[in-house]
Amino acid sequence: IPSLITNVHKSQTLQAGETADLTLMLPENTNIAKSNYTIALSNNPLLGIEKIVKSLAVYPFGCGEQLLSSTMPNAVLQRFTSILTDTWIEKKTIDENLKAWLEKIYEMSLPNWALKYWYDDTQGDIHITAYGVRVLLEIEKSGTQIRRDIVEKAVNYLIANYVKSEWIEKAESLWAIADYHGKSTETLLNISDLTAGFTPATMKRHELVAFTYALVLTNPEKYTSTIDANIVKIQKLLETEGEWDYYYSRLSDMGEFTQLLMDYKGDSKLISEYILKMYSQDWESYWYSTKTKNNAFLAFAKYIEIYGKNSVNTLAATLNESRAQVTLGEETNSYKKEI
């Protein structure tokens, strides 16, 4: 009789001197005798991330958004291979995947410089073009050479169509343009104030994330008051707005928002809270969209790059009435025991 293999994950953050009592709610009819249990302690909340990074390696794709989202995991894997020694994915495999899938992305570029949604489309799509620009730039940041001419032309298309775009597309376009041009964004759009026309009080969650991220990438000093106010509002929207809005899920927006906070050098405690919320998900499941998974894993990679080295901590664990003590530092930063 086939057996369903289920992973149950539970985590908790402990301060010095604190204790934890973790109770696992196992599915009905679980075979206790054949089950494996592991307790792990670490000074980095992303303990064991290398085990689930491999789930990014294979994803199907069809439309332009799926193609972009399916190419991105390989760039994410590149980020992880540079900061982790055991991702279980060979660099050769990553490079081959990127080379093949980048060519498919380039084939989606139209003569008017936009990216199309479906292969047989004859018109471009603002959403896909903006997303494509950010995906290609992220792939470049991860160490792979891209066709800058494709990106530059796509950005020029977004600039040319910025004024007549709908507000959600305008926010997405602004984010992509700012990711490419940085502080030159205002000049290129011929706008002295990027907040003109936007009304944060009435904006949807993802639109506000995209808009705020654009301000962070363009000129965080100039737009500090707006960015700070938007961060507070986004926090509330992550709790109150529905799970799905247009293309964007709550976890996907949380991943992008967490990256925004890190680029803005925001509250490290708040950043860690969102990292832990996202990490508690079962990322080996195909329940999550490629886009959601990409955004979460990019946040994880950036978090490790920024906060990977913590001060030494000494923790003690009691397992089956036996006590083990371990010092967590930069060289030996985790403790695991199977029971």
pLDDT digits (tens, 9 = 90+) for 24-47: 777 777 777 777 766 666 666 665
Q: Which residue has the higher pLDDT, 236 or 275?
A: 236
Cα 291 → chain centroid: 8
The answer to which of 99-108, 138-147, 281-290 has the lowest mean pLDDT is 281-290
Residue 248: pLDDT band (50, 70, 90) is confident
Q: Which two tokens stand for residue 164?
A: 């007549």
Residue 309's H or E segment, with its range, is none
pLDDT band at 282 (very low <50, low <70, confident <90, very high): confident
Rounded mean pLDDT of 154-175? 93
- Strands (DSSP E) along the chain, which ranges? 38-42, 244-245, 248-249, 313-319, 322-328, 334-338
Which is more confidently placed, 284 or 190?
A: 190
Q: Tokens 């938007």 map to which residue? A: 230
Name which residue leads in pLDDT, 296 or 233: 233
Which pLDDT score, from 0 to 100, does residue 8 have?
A: 64
pLDDT score of 69: 73
Lowest mean pLDDT among 28-42, 143-157, 164-178, 285-299: 28-42
User: Comparing 10-24, 126-140, 290-304, 310-324, which segment has the lowest mean pLDDT?
Assistant: 310-324
Give the pLDDT score at 5. 58
Dihedral, CA of residue 14, residue 15, residue 19 and residue 20, to nearest 10: -10
Looking at per-residue pLDDT, the higher value among 227 and 301 belongs to 227
Choice among 92-96, 154-158, 180-184 with the minimum mean pLDDT: 92-96
What predicted TM-score, i.e. pTM, was given to this entire model?
0.78
Range in 3-12, 44-53, 166-175, 324-333 the model is least confident about: 324-333
| pLDDT recorded at residue 312 | 34
At 222 the pLDDT is 96
pLDDT at 130 > cutoff 70: yes
Task: Read off the pLDDT band of 313 (50, 70, 90).
Answer: very low
Q: Judge whether residue 339 has pLDDT over 70.
A: no
CA-CA distance, 324 to 134, in Å (whole number)?
46
Q: Answer whether 190's CB lies under 8 Å from 151's CB.
A: no
What do you get for the CA distance between the two ends of the chain, in Å?
26
Measured CA angle at 117 (ends 96, 123), to 5 deg: 125
Inter-residue contact 254 to 278 (CB < 8 Å):
yes
Report the pLDDT value the prediction gives residue 149, as an integer from 0 to 100. Answer: 93
Can you list the pairs that 163-167 forms with residues at least 24 positions away whose Cβ atoms lie under 8 Å? 165/126, 166/126, 167/198, 167/203, 167/207
